[in-house]
Amino acid sequence: MEKTEALSGSTNRPVRVIEFLGQAWAWLFLLALIVIFSITGQGFFSLFNFQSIGANMAIIMIMALGQTFVIIAGGIDLSTGFVMGMASVFGAMAMTSWIDPTTTPLPLVVLVGLVAGVGAGMVAGLINGWLIARLQVPPFIVTLGMLGISRGAGFLFSGGMPVPVKVEGLGQLGNGYLLYYHANTGLTFLSPGPGLSGADLRQLVGILPHPLTLMIVLVLICHWVLSRTKFGLYTYAIGGNREAALRAGIPVERHTISIYLLSASLAAMAGVLYNMRFTNGAANAGDALLLDSIAAVVIGGASMFGGEGTIIGTLIGALLIAVIQNGLVILAINPFWQFIAVGIVIILAVLVDRARAKVVK
Amino acid sequence: MTPSQQPILQTINLEKHFGGLVAVNNVSLDIYPGEVVGLVGDNGAGKSTLIKMISGVYRPDGGKILLDGQEVHFATPMEARQRGIETIYQDLALCENLDAPVNIFLGREPVRRTLGLFTVVNRSYMHDESQQVLDKLDIHIPNLNRPIREMSGGQRQAVAIARAVYWNARLMIMDEPTAALAVAEQRKVYELVRTLREQNVPVIIISHNLQDVFAVSDRIVVMRRGRKVGEVVTAETTTDEVVGLIVGATAVA
């Protein structure tokens, strides 16, 4: 390390400091926010609150995972918000009316919901990918069109109303924890210890809410795929120089289709997670989440021109947004300030990135 | 270069039309192992079209391409590359967001298994092999893990050349290799071309810059309006004679 630094010559101390800040500013900013909110906000610094931040950001983060691949490959997927909503409608309808949820075991009900929701999402993703890769229609246009199509499809199939999911135990699953701890029963897996009731339940501690666990698993998988596999490398190559990727023999068309398929599938999975968390499906469930998920990717250092970005960066971006939203709520600040705060952070992120690029060059 | 040697590449009466325009007209060319051939001509003389037929981008409308004496038909540039014809275009076709090893191996990445189940890109192998090929060409890149974006024009050109060499180029075609380079970097590229020649890899250099061509080539082929109008030994000619051929003032030598 020392040797290479010395050889490159131009890497002197101030440059290194700025480069470090350019990479670490989001971590430092996140840390500063957590410290500030912990001091000023009652109940911010607690296991319960941190876990609820995690559970609340899961849906946005899962959408942002797919978006990270898309943006690194030099595209954009504007349709994820309504694909997520459409998937939640299909998931809700499948779980309640395609099968009889009273006689079907819960895991099977969830599976049917997943197949229906993700299936619907995959159709949207395939159409996106095919139009972008084969017919070379700009991603912005294709996915803007798909935004409208999935929005309309979601509302048409749901009759314009939220679809309630009356399935025994589904809500507990969507809002449950992987582990429970109580002084009397110790650590138990998936459900509270036996014999707890009334006052005991108030001292029950849930550890790892299911949405958070699912999110962590998906984050780890996506991080591994993006940073270690050919699939990840090709994503960067296509975003960096599509022509070079083509000449190197990379299957650019097939890969582009896969990426939009992945993005839509993850958004659809977020839709089914929404079913389980809120026990309904709604065509506009993801309407407000699209921009937050893109914001997470951008704050995380991805370039809108493609070729740059990481899953860890996106995770920090999503964490920043979630912490800002949660902290402002705890401080009882008018919720409209959340939009302004997140907006400022997005612009800040791009400014920091540009300053870093200038210095490095 | 001895006449008795078999040429690596031969084109025989090669032709290409675009509508009514004859872009390449009846061009025959022999390229021998270890020689550097400069291909010169004015804009629209047909240099690029000729090269694109050799590198598999265009299909000839007439004539033949022989590689090691065997006729070849390339449907895609990839097929030409697989047969050892490497073309370095002016834009270099590098992914500037990625590092040199990844660029050298792009599209042909080595993989290894982890946990006996998942295949991952073998970065350390790519790194070591890249270091070796760069050393062999006497190219120094301070930190192989930095993206191409942070390299100088000469270093980028060097990475593109190293990529071609690593994949056992039998014939290297370079399109305007020094167009965007500072003088010191141009020298570096000339050195690389000479290194290739020493390793018996023939190089075709297309250039507008006659200084380039005179600096490194053994032979100069001049094209004008789709035809080959001259073929001269670099050591036995002058810039004036070549310019004369390019503009059509001198009769065919």
* Contacts with B38 (C-beta within 8 Å, 6 or more apart), sequence order: B205, B207, B212, B213, B214, B216, B217, B219, B220, B221, B234
Contact B15, B196 (CB under 8 A): no
Q: What is the pLDDT of residue A7?
A: 38
Statement: residue B86 has pLDDT above 80: yes
- Do A262 and A269 meet the contact criterion of CB atoms below 8 Å apart? no
Would an 8 Å CB–CB cutoff place B143 in contact with chain A?
A: yes
CB of B110 less than 8 A from some CB of A:
no
Q: Report the SS3 class of residue A289.
A: helix
Q: Do B142 and A237 touch (CB under 8 A)?
A: no
Higher pLDDT: B183 or A54? It is A54
User: Residues B137, B162: contact at Cβ < 8 Å?
Assistant: yes
B82 touches chain A (CB under 8 A): no
Q: How confident is the model at residue B252 (pLDDT cuts 50, 70, 90)?
A: low
Mutate to test the interface with B, among A230, A241, A310, A353 (most CBs of B within 10 A): A241
CB contact at 8 A, B135 and B168: no
Residues β-bridged to residue B65: B11
Q: Do A4 and B77 touch (CB under 8 A)?
A: no
Q: Is A228 on the interface with B (CB under 8 A)?
A: yes
Helices (H), A41-192: 47-72, 80-93, 106-133, 139-158, 170-174
Nearest partner of A270 among A295, A257, A287, judged by Cα? A287
Lowest mean pLDDT among A19-33, A298-312, B147-161, B226-240: A19-33
Predicted local confidence at residue A316, as pLDDT = 94
A230 touches chain B (CB under 8 A): yes
Both tokens of residue A169? Answer: 């135990």
**pLDDT at position A353, please?**
79
| Exposure of A136 in the CB half-sphere (CA atoms within 13 A) | 1
Residue of B nearest to A248 (CA): B107
Within chain B, strands assigned E span: 9-18, 21-31, 36-41, 62-67, 70-71, 85-88, 111-114, 118-121, 171-175, 203-206, 219-224, 227-233
CA B47 to CA B141: how far, in whole Å? 32
Between CA A55 and CA A322 the distance in angstroms is 10
> What pLDDT, on the 0 to 100 scale, is given for residue A17?
75
Smallest CA-to-CA distance from B89 within B105, B77, B72 is with B77
What the block records as the tokens of A151 is: 């929005």
- How far apart are alpha carbons A239 and A235 in whole angstroms? 6
pLDDT at residue number A117: 97
pLDDT in the model for residue B185: 81
How would you classify residue A282: left for phi > 0, otherwise alpha for psi between -120 and 50, otherwise beta?
beta
* Chain A contact for B111 (CB, 8 A cutoff): yes
Task: With a threshold of 0.95, tell me whether the complex ipTM lies above it.
Answer: no
Q: Which residue blocks in A241-280 are alpha helix, DSSP H?
A: 242-247, 252-278
Q: B54-64 pLDDT, tens per residue?
A: 998 899 999 99
Dist CA A94 CA A100 (whole Å): 10
- Cβ of A240 under 8 Å from any chain B Cβ? yes
Please indicate whether, in this complex, the C-beta atoms of A245 and B95 are within 8 angstroms of each other. yes
Phi, psi (degrees; rounded to nearest 5) at A255: -65, -40
Nearest alpha-carbon partner for A37 in A245, A237, A322, A296: A322
Q: What ranges make up the beta strands (E) of chain A? A: 163-164, 177-182, 186-189, 205-209, 280-281
For residues A86 and A120, the answer to whether their CB atoms sit within 8 Å is yes
| Cα A288 from Cα A84, distance rounded (Å) | 11
Task: Determine the 3-state secondary structure of A189 from DSSP.
Answer: strand
The pLDDT, as a whole number, for residue A10 is 46
Domains of chain B, residue spans: 9-247
The pTM is what? 0.88
User: DSSP letter string over B71-130?
Assistant: E---SSHHHHHHTTEEEE-TTTT--TTSBHHHHHHTTS--EEEETTTEEEE-HHHHHHHH
Report how many Cβ contacts below 8 Å link chain A to chain B: 67
d(CA A217, CA A213): 6
Interface with B, mutate which of A233, A255, A356, A360 (most B CBs under 10 A): A233
Give yes or no for A225 touching B (CB within 8 A). no
B207 or A70, higher pLDDT: A70
Closest residue in A to B140 (Cα–Cα): A7
Tokens 């550890």 belong to residue: A207
For tokens 């990839």, what's the residue? B78
Place of tokens 């990479």: A23
> How far is residue B36's CA from residue A13's CA, in Å, rounded to a whole number?
45
The dihedral over CA atoms of B244, B241, B184, B168, expressed in degrees to the nearest 10, equals 90
Share of chain B above pLDDT 70, in %: 97
Q: Does B68 touch chain A (CB under 8 A)?
A: no
Least confident of A203-207, B178-182, B244-248: B178-182
Q: Which of B144, B164, B149, B131 is nearest to B100 (CA)?
A: B144
Q: How many CB atoms lie within 10 A of CB A8?
A: 14
* CB nearest to B94's CB, from A230, A236, A244: A244
Q: Residue A144: its pLDDT value, please?
A: 97
SS3 B61: coil
Give pLDDT, residue B180.
75
pLDDT given for residue B157 in this prediction: 87
CATH of domain B9-247: 3.40.50.300
Question: Which candidate from A241, A244, A249 shows the least CB-CB separation from B78?
Answer: A249
Q: Which tens digits make up the pLDDT trace of B88-125?
A: 888 888 999 999 999 999 988 999 988 777 899 999 99
Q: Which residue of A has its CA nearest to B167?
A: A248
- Stated length of chain B: 253
**Separation CA A210–CA A179 (nearest Å):** 10
CA–CA distance from A34 to each of A53, A295, A323, B92 (Å)? 12, 19, 7, 47
Chain A positions in Cβ-Cβ contact with residue B143 (cut-off 8 Å)? 4, 7-8
- What are the chain B neighbours of A250 within 8 Å (beta carbons)? 106-107
| pLDDT at position A203 | 82
Pairing of strands B85-88, A205-209: unpaired
Paired with A249 in beta bridges are: none
Tokens found for residue A105: 């075991």
pLDDT tens-digit profile, chain A (361 residues): 333 333 344 456 677 777 777 778 888 999 999 999 999 988 899 999 999 999 999 999 999 999 999 999 999 999 999 999 999 999 999 999 998 888 889 999 999 999 999 999 999 999 999 999 999 999 999 999 999 999 999 999 999 999 999 888 888 888 889 999 888 888 888 888 787 777 777 788 889 999 999 999 999 999 999 999 999 999 999 999 999 998 888 999 999 999 999 999 999 999 999 999 999 999 999 999 999 999 999 999 898 899 999 999 999 999 999 999 999 999 999 989 999 999 999 898 888 878 777 776 5
